[in-house]
Structure 1
């Protein structure tokens, strides 16, 4: 069985590889790239985990809720967006959904991920005893330019976004963890910094 740590590592590496690849191609940071580049790179890294599982992209929300036994009879909330799509779904080897990954590029504040956070929370809170869905990952790339102390300031920015997210998530009776890629934020000139970040939401 794939561990939670293996999923975290693969997701973060996918974001990091997106940054490296896009910079090689364009000489620009990842925030100038389309978001789907990150989505594909993350899926690619998860697929490399040498354990039984499936990974799919852009699966329909209602379809996944139904297969995970999370749909039930109640109305699907507007914030879950039944006709929408999860960016990435990680499946158990038995063919049931295990985790959803929502991907965002160029996050600067909580507002940028708020709808994704609501969707993940509502997804995990449906039919909790029956649902095969155990985790939701908000995976994002963040960068910014400052006058100085860029690494420290970006860390503070990430922490501020996390605290706002944590306030919402814990009010939904769920748990949340902050995971940042090793040695991030990256800062080369004390003015520009970037990082690969996960907010892991679970029951």
Structure 2
């Protein structure tokens, strides 16, 4: 069976982000977007969407970084702990059917600038350097309240944020980034405008 494509994982990530946002708006009667809520809501819906695919082995939430290293027969370096949060865990880890790690996804909420994601990018780069994963993804929703801001404003600010993330990494890694940017069609019945974003980092 063919390995699941990066594009499929990116699309599933975007789908999970959108589902989480719509669910959260429904739960809160449109009073609060998911970016102002628990990050775990985003993580759960992304993991669920990816886990529905038959072309992957397994999906873990809050996976220990050391377990990813052990899966490829390596010991996690001390410096990886300095890049880690929550006791050295990845928000989502994806494994192939042969038990080898494929990717990790770091999920963020309330992303308004590149500083919010730079620690996660640094950790993904370390995992790529050590050849533990094939690629890593940063996933988040860029969200603002209407009517002070329009959907078009959100799209522009999101693209600027992605551009800033590119400038925040070294030249080599810049060459191996894939953006998936999904400007959601905002409902006139909602006070929220948002865009879902997944940024993929790889070595090749």
Q: How does 1:51-200 map to 2 (within 5 A)?
A: 51-69=55-73, 71=75, 75-81=78-84, 83-126=87-130, 131-145=131-145, 150-171=150-171, 173=173, 175-181=176-182, 184-188=183-187, 192-200=192-200
Q: Is the CA contact 2:33–2:192 (under 8 Å) kept in the aligned structure 1?
A: no
Give the match for residue 24 of structure 2: 22
Contact 1:100-1:135 at 8 Å conserved across structures: yes
Q: Deviations over 1:72-108 (max 9, x none)?
A: 7x54345433941000000011111110000011211
Aligned length: 196
Of the three residues 1, 5, 27, the one matched with 2:7 is 5
Q: Is the 8 A contact 2:137 2:200 kept in 1?
A: yes
Structure 1: 5+ residue stretches without partners: none
Determine the C-alpha separation between the residues in 1 that align with 2:143 and 2:96: 33
Change (3 A) 1:7 1:176: same
User: What's the TM-score once normalised by structure 1's chain length?
Assistant: 0.85
- 2:36 and 2:133 map into 1 onto residues whose CA distance is 32
Who is 1:39 aligned against? 43
Q: Is the 8 A contact 1:180 1:198 kept in 2?
A: yes
**Which whole-Å CA distance do the structure 2 matches of 1:47 and 1:9 have between them?**
13
| Aligned-residue offset at 1:145 | 3.3
Verify the 8 A CA contact 1:176 1:201 in the aligned structure 2: yes
Deviations 1:22-58 (A, max 9, x none): 1221113222321101111111000111224210111
Taking the aligned partners of 2:92 and 2:105, their CA distance within structure 1 comes to 5
Superposition RMSD on alpha carbons, in Å? Answer: 2.4
- Gapped regions of structure 2 (runs ≥ 5): none
Classify 1:177/1:70 alpha carbon distance in 2 versus 1 (closer, same or farther; 3 Å): farther
The TM-score normalised by the length of structure 2 is 0.85
Pairwise CA distance, 1:166: 1.1
